[in-house]
Amino acid sequence: MTPVATKKQTPPLYRGVSPWKHFFAFQRDRQAFLRKAYKEAGSIFSIQMGPKKMAIIVGPQNHKIFYELTDTKLRADLAYVFLRRIFGPLGFTASPEEYQRQRPVLHASFSHKRMAGYVHIMQEEIRQWLDTLGDEGEFEINHDFTSVIQNVAAHSFMGLDFRNRMGEEFWHNYSILGKGIDPILPPGLPLPRFIRRDRAKARLQKMLRPLIQERRAHPDKYDDFLQDFVNARYKDGEPMEDDIIIGLIIALMFAGHETTIGQAAWTVLQLIQHPDYLQKVLDEIDQHFPYGEVLSLTDLSKLQHTYWAVMETARTKPSADINMRVAVEDVEVGDYVIPAGWMVMVVAPVGHIVEDVFAEPFDYDPLRFAPPREEDRQRYSLITWGGGVHKCTGMTFAINEMMLIAAMLFQRYELEIVSPKEPKSVYGVGAIRPEKTIVRYRRREQPLGLHATRDTSAEESCPVPHQDKAECPMPHSRD
Ligand code: HEM
């Protein structure tokens, strides 16, 4: 039963129990724990994680408060201090003032012009992987998607030469770094994995520093993401410092690849699990994706059923499940006040089952995103990519990549889940993915799209409901 509140109460403690009970339930299965708490306690409640009080707020109106007060009353950098040790003060680990200096530079690298180029790189990398598969066989989906997505990231952000010469060493050190990320323990403890983390970071810095010097010496020779950072000037005309560039590169690889692996894998698995909807995706690939051709951003926007599948997976299996802030002033939410000093969280797997927003929320139903239903029309209802000032810079990049992986894989192959038949999610640091899952593939007698033609005359539109063309979050519909 939802407790009756009077003004100025703090959010009620869910089943006011011993401090550690919440902690262990959270560690065991945070999605199940928080969903249960929401069902029992309502859309504003609190949990106690050891000595820390945390408020959880659910639903588009509450998400709005969370995202719109970010960097004023609610601070992201104070919540993500454990990431600051690794990346330095960057993006949401930087103070609001420092972040405002960096923001234009960060966003310029995801411009429409850049995105058109990334989409070509994505197809080149996916095709190279598909060419290794042969006529039939099996793959472990996380393993194979990790290498494709890492290659896309290294190639897009750092250039082909880096991807070929240094990619492997980079990702090796990067994985050691990732194992040293811990949101709970103080990052300076002399634990072996923290020591390995710091050594891996030093090796990455050593790898990247000469590259930056080379780029500074020959700025006209390169035209990619790394060069954007090297060429960038803050508003005051100062160039970005080498350490900031290095931190940005490592941070982007972190932000961009773990999250995409999980959701790309779930997009494909969920399509295999739902053959009726898959058929719609196959039909549109056959019609709009000419086999052997490279799609432009505009062509990609024709694959609307694929897009809705990606969005439904984003709703049901969001890989970055929790966004956190620290309240630096009291914040009113509904009938409650979250006091300064508390942690505040929004939780995508909880926000995405609010029944007033998403009908039959536990059903897989990609058409909920299609007109006329457009169930995500209310702002901040779908929070897979966050919202407000720190909304994911790489959202469009990730959506394009996930659409292309699914479309190109199903274009060539028939797929089947071998084991486990009903995969579950596993939690990593900051990102969720399916457990190890073996997929069997067999080459189609004829690939889809053999007779597809490009319809360049069609009116360009944004496939995301209720978006102005000028504001379409999928810029691929506007190239
Ligand atoms: C499915 C894939 C992805 C998911 C689910 C995801 C999710 C998120 C979320 C939830 C946030 C906001 C965190 C907060 O407000 O606390 C965020 C921020 C961010 N993401 Fe992503 N992300 C994905 C892919 C990417 C990619 C591919 C990149 C870049 C290559 C990227 C770069 C960033 C950056 C730079 C930020 C910080 C933005 C800022 O502070 O202004 N993400 N992401």
Task: Point out the ligand 1 atom lying closest to the alpha carbon of residue 106.
Answer: 35
pLDDT in the model for residue 232: 86
Task: State the distance from the centre of ligand 1 to the C-alpha of 119, rounded, in angstroms.
Answer: 18
- Of all helices (H) and strands (E), which one includes residue 415? strand 413-419
The string of pLDDT tens digits covering residues 68-92 is 999 999 999 999 888 887 888 888 8
Give yes or no for residue 303 CB within 6 A of ligand 1. no
Taking residues 423-444, what's their average pLDDT?
Answer: 90
The string of pLDDT tens digits covering residues 220-261 is 888 888 888 898 888 788 888 888 888 888 888 877 788 999
pLDDT in the model for residue 277: 98
Task: Point out the ligand 1 atom lying closest to the alpha carbon of residue 262.
Answer: 1
pLDDT in the model for residue 467: 37
Using pLDDT thresholds of 50, 70 and 90, give the confidence band for residue 430: low
Q: Could you give the angle at which helices 395-412 and 112-131 cross, rounded to 10 degrees?
A: 30
For the cut 60, the answer to whether the pLDDT of residue 206 exceeds it is yes
Task: State the distance from the centre of ligand 1 to the C-alpha of 260, rounded, in angstroms.
Answer: 10
The class that CATH gives domain 58-478 is mainly alpha
Percent of the chain surpassing pLDDT 70: 92
pLDDT in the model for residue 1: 52
Which residues neighbour 86 within 8 Å (Cβ) at sequence distance 6 or greater?
Answer: 177, 180, 181, 197, 201, 250, 251, 254
pLDDT in the model for residue 125: 97
Using pLDDT thresholds of 50, 70 and 90, give the confidence band for residue 457: low
Task: State the distance from the centre of ligand 1 to the C-alpha of 254, rounded, in angstroms.
Answer: 9
303 vs 1 pLDDT, higher one: 303
Task: State the distance from the centre of ligand 1 to the C-alpha of 387, rounded, in angstroms.
Answer: 10
Percent of the chain surpassing pLDDT 90: 63
135 vs 458 pLDDT, higher one: 135
Using pLDDT thresholds of 50, 70 and 90, give the confidence band for residue 369: very high
Q: 140 with 437: CB under 8 angstroms? A: yes
Using pLDDT thresholds of 50, 70 and 90, give the confidence band for residue 6: low
pLDDT in the model for residue 468: 37
pLDDT in the model for residue 379: 96
Q: Could you give the angle at which helices 242-273 and 304-316 cross, rounded to 10 degrees?
A: 100
For the cut 70, the answer to whether the pLDDT of residue 458 exceeds it is no
Distance (Å) of CA 200 to CA 170, 205, 226: 9, 9, 21
pLDDT in the model for residue 17: 65
CA distance 267 to 285: 16
pLDDT in the model for residue 459: 41
Q: Could you give the angle at which helices 242-273 and 96-108 cross, rounded to 10 degrees?
A: 70
pLDDT in the model for residue 184: 72
Nearest CA residue ID for atom 19, ligand 1: 392
Question: Tokens 């009077």 sit at which residue?
Answer: 6
What is the pTM for the complete model shown?
Answer: 0.91
pLDDT in the model for residue 455: 63
Using pLDDT thresholds of 50, 70 and 90, give the confidence band for residue 275: very high
pLDDT in the model for residue 322: 93
pLDDT in the model for residue 195: 93
The string of pLDDT tens digits covering residues 92-116 is 889 999 888 888 888 887 888 888 8
Nearest CA residue ID for atom 1, ligand 1: 260
Q: 57 with 43: CB under 8 angstroms? A: yes
Q: How many helices (H) and strands (E) does the chain have?
A: 16, 12
Nearest CA residue ID for atom 7, ligand 1: 385
Helices (H), 180-241: 192-217, 225-231
| Most informative mutation of 151, 392, 399, 401 for ligand 1 (most atoms within 8 A of CB) | 392
- 43-80 CB burial, b ≥16 within 10 A, e <16: bbbbbbbeeebbbbbbbbebbbbbbbbbbebbbbbbbb
CA distance 405 to 126: 7
Task: Point out the ligand 1 atom lying closest to the alpha carbon of residue 323.
Answer: 16
Longest dimension (CA), the chain: 67
Task: State the distance from the centre of ligand 1 to the C-alpha of 113, rounded, in angstroms.
Answer: 20
Which residues neighbour 150 within 8 Å (Cβ) at sequence distance 6 or greater?
Answer: 167, 171, 257
Give yes or no for residue 150 CB within 6 A of ligand 1. no
> Which string of DSSP letters, residue by residue, matches 10-55?
PPPBGGG--HHHHHHHHHHHHHHHHHHHHHHH-SEEEEEETTEEEE
pLDDT in the model for residue 474: 47
Using pLDDT thresholds of 50, 70 and 90, give the confidence band for residue 2: low
Task: State the distance from the centre of ligand 1 to the C-alpha of 137, rounded, in angstroms.
Answer: 34
CA distance 261 to 165: 23
Taking residues 324-350, what's their average pLDDT?
Answer: 96
CA 125 to chain centre: 19
- Under DSSP, the state recorded for 156 is I
pLDDT in the model for residue 7: 59
Task: State the distance from the centre of ligand 1 to the C-alpha of 315, rounded, in angstroms.
Answer: 15
Task: Point out the ligand 1 atom lying closest to the alpha carbon of residue 156.
Answer: 30
CA distance 384 to 392: 9
Give yes or no for residue 102 CB within 6 A of ligand 1. no
The string of pLDDT tens digits covering residues 26-56 is 888 899 999 999 999 999 999 998 788 899 9
Task: State the distance from the centre of ligand 1 to the C-alpha of 398, rounded, in angstroms.
Answer: 9
> Which string of DSSP letters, residue by residue, matches 302-368?
T-HHHHHHHHHHHHHS-SS-EEEEEESS-EEETTEEEPTT-EEEEEHHHHTT-TTTSSSTTS--GGG
Give yes or no for residue 462 CB within 6 A of ligand 1. no
For the cut 50, the answer to whether the pLDDT of residue 307 exceeds it is yes
- Under DSSP, the state recorded for 70 is B
196 vs 17 pLDDT, higher one: 196
Spell out the domain ranges in the chain.
58-478
pLDDT in the model for residue 456: 60
Task: State the distance from the centre of ligand 1 to the C-alpha of 251, rounded, in angstroms.
Answer: 10
Instruction: Please give the single-letter amino acid code of residue 477.
Output: S
- In a 3-state reduction of DSSP, which class is residue 229? helix
Q: Could you give the angle at which helices 242-273 and 167-179 cross, rounded to 10 degrees?
A: 90
pLDDT in the model for residue 462: 45
Task: Please give the mean pLDDT across all residues of the chain.
Answer: 89
Q: 153 with 256: CB under 8 angstroms? A: yes
Here the contacts of 410-413 (C-beta below 8 Å, separation 24 or greater) are: 410/268, 410/271, 410/278, 410/281, 410/282, 410/285, 410/448, 411/285, 411/289, 411/291, 411/447, 411/448, 411/449, 412/130, 412/443, 412/444, 412/447, 412/448, 413/133, 413/441, 413/442, 413/443, 413/444
Give yes or no for residue 386 CB within 6 A of ligand 1. yes
CA distance 419 to 83: 35
